[in-house]
Amino acid sequence: MLNDASADGTYRDEIEDTFLLLEENFYTLYQRCSTSEQKKHLCDTYSAARYACWKVVRQARPDGWSVDSNASRDLKMANLQLAAMLQNPGDIGASLSLAAEAVRLATSLAPGPAA
């Protein structure tokens, strides 16, 4: 289901929230990583979140581009789950997986490259 411009601010806020959750908790998550692979995964996920946030702030939506309200809703839920998980981080693998899913959704909502 596609929404009109009324969802514009909401999806932008959710993408920014994804980035801020990772930015504010990066050091804690990094310290909890036990392998270099986990650290790389976290760094890659953080970088993708930062890029998605940058795209939303710096690039205008292409004409005719609509927000997928299902993906926006899913991102909101992933952000809520991630925020809750970060309050009491347990399994670092689960935290990294949830962060990666939130970033995947954020990336899918960010505008594509300008043509």
Residue 29 lies in a domain: yes
Q: Which domain holds residue 63?
A: 2-109
Residue 98 lies in a domain: yes
Residue 115 lies in a domain: no
Number of folded domains that form the chain: 1
Q: What is the pLDDT of residues 48-59, one digit of tens each?
A: 999 999 988 776
Q: What is the pLDDT of residues 30-44, one digit of tens each?
A: 999 999 999 999 999
pTM value?
0.81
Residue 17 lies in a domain: yes
| pLDDT band at residue 2 using 50, 70 and 90 as cut-offs | very low
Name the packing angle between helices 69-87 and 8-32 (round to 10°).
30
Residue 114 lies in a domain: no
Percent of the chain scored above 70 by pLDDT? 80
45 contacts: CB under 8 Å, gap ≥ 6: 22, 96, 99, 100, 103
Residue 64 lies in a domain: yes
